[in-house]
Amino acid sequence: MSREFHYNIELYPEDSKKLIPLELEVPEGIKEIVIKANLDPEFLSHEESKKLIREAIKNYISQGFEPLDIKQISAEILDKIIREFSPLRNIVNLRVIDADGDFRGTGDQRFTKGIPIKIGTYESTLGCVSGEIKPGIWQLILEIKQILKKCVLNIVVYLNREEITKVKDVILPYTPVIREPYDKSGWVKGDIHLHSYHSDGELSIEELIKFSIKRGLDFIFLTDHNKISGFHTIEWEFYPIYGGIEFTTFWGHFLGLGLKEYISWDLVNPSLGIRRLSEMVRSQGGIFCVAHPYTMSAPVCPGCRCEIYLDYNFVDAIEIWTGSFERRRFEITESIKRWREILKNGFRVTALGSSDMHKIEDIKEDVPVNYLYVEDLSEESILKAIKEGRAYVTSGPEIEFYINDYSIGDSVNFDEDLILKYACGRESELRIIYNGDEYIKIPNTKKGAFHLKVKDPGYIYLEFWEGKKLIAFTNPIYLI
């Protein structure tokens, strides 16, 4: 025996960036909840999309070290880029909260594509949490990310007293990849921003770990969108994989690294800013990191670009280099410009890089990894290294950077006799950045040392370039 509920909701462009809660009364004895939905229309036509995409591209390429006017792009190339992003979509997600106020799942891309979401006592779809279906008032929270034209959202909810519904994308038992503990100290490398099929990635967590080992990574953080439920499925795994969430908000994306428990993303909004969310992340001993702040904006990627005031007292790290440098150089170089100013204003915010990997094809030669200087591969040691800025970001070559006997993340008295030493695993152009400006450029170099002459306290960090292509940068050594 089952109960069935129907919701038909008209949505308009003015509903974008809204949350619409729906109450669902769940009686005693329910064993599974199944949700199906349809959004009509989901897509705009190509003709409707073209102008909007062109404007988003225009804004995106107007930033960075070498901004472009859209008129500088040939019509053929521009049309190719537009078709890559076309057609645009109306975007709605669903979050399920049970009678105790606990997170039980999200719909992600399944929700409006006719793929059922199941929350069962013993079996659930990916991105959801299995367990007792407690009686009481449950909430279905509609997350209206973007409505570009009027549409109708049809939702059907089934409350079944037997767990009878079979779906394809269920959570399977976890199989450990590494079964014996191991450790490492000194400079280790890892990726802090990865997705599995528990949100919108293509790989299982086991496949993600195997591929990370193939990449030579010593650790990773699993940061599925607005959930940590995938991390909670991991059992008896000795590969250093740690919990995180990519808080995918209406006003930007933020990483919580080192999390154990779910935190709701909607603690971020224009009136509250980021403070409450940051405090919740830090209360778990985690790190609050701004993700890809200058990436493509709505309507191509609604919510992806940071469009909210950032109080850097509540920011531990910022993701400067996300993904392929060649494909994303405008946002990456804009992030570098802004980070220099953040440091100049006295905030010690650690710069990080990531793949933001959703599928294997995302890993290109110019995708970065983070090197951290750690005591061991424990989560505590890795988070400590990030907090202290003992990190550099590279797409390949290993880096050394010292001022006197001090290394990345350290502080040195600026009025001492200062000798800067550096090494890069590949010949490149070195740019030394002092308090936001280029102090000196050294072309075609791999290793060197020289006296520094500085007048003021502040910071120094290094960038390594091959022509117009960034290949590595360090966090600062601070001058005090």
Domain 2-42+89-160: top CATH class? mainly beta
Tokens representing residue 428 in the block: 């490149």
Q: Do domains 2-42+89-160 and 186-395 have the same CATH topology?
A: no
Mean pLDDT, residues 389-402 taken together: 98
Query: pLDDT by residue (tens digit) across 437-457?
Result: 999 999 999 999 999 999 999
Query: pLDDT by residue (tens digit) across 334-350?
Result: 999 999 999 999 999 99
pLDDT at position 1, please?
63
**So what's the architecture of 186-395 in CATH?**
Alpha-Beta Barrel (3.20)
Of all helices (H) and strands (E), which one includes residue 261? none
For 194, residues 6+ apart whose C-beta sits below 8 A from its C-beta are 201, 208, 212, 220, 221, 222, 223, 354, 355, 356, 357
At residue 400, does pLDDT exceed 70?
Answer: yes
Instruction: Determine whether 306 is exposed, middle or buried from the number of CB atoms within 10 Å of its CB (0-12, 13-18, 19+).
Output: buried
Where are the chain's structural domains? 2-42+89-160, 46-85, 186-395
Burial 54-79 (b: 16+ CB within 10 A, else e): bebbeebbebbeeeeeeeebeeeebe
Query: pLDDT by residue (tens digit) across 5-31?
Result: 999 999 999 999 999 999 999 999 999
CA 384 – CA 388 distance, rounded (Å): 6
Kindly state the DSSP code that residue 215 receives in the 8-state scheme.
T
At residue 109, does pLDDT exceed 90?
Answer: no
Report the percentage of the chain scoring pLDDT > 70.
100
Query: pLDDT by residue (tens digit) across 353-380?
Result: 999 999 999 999 999 999 999 999 999 9
Query: pLDDT by residue (tens digit) across 54-103?
Result: 999 999 999 999 999 999 999 999 999 999 999 999 999 999 999 999 99
CA 185 – CA 181 distance, rounded (Å): 14
Summary mean pLDDT of the chain? 97
Which residues sit opposite 91 in a β-bridge?
146
pTM here? 0.97
Of all helices (H) and strands (E), which one includes residue 211? helix 205-214
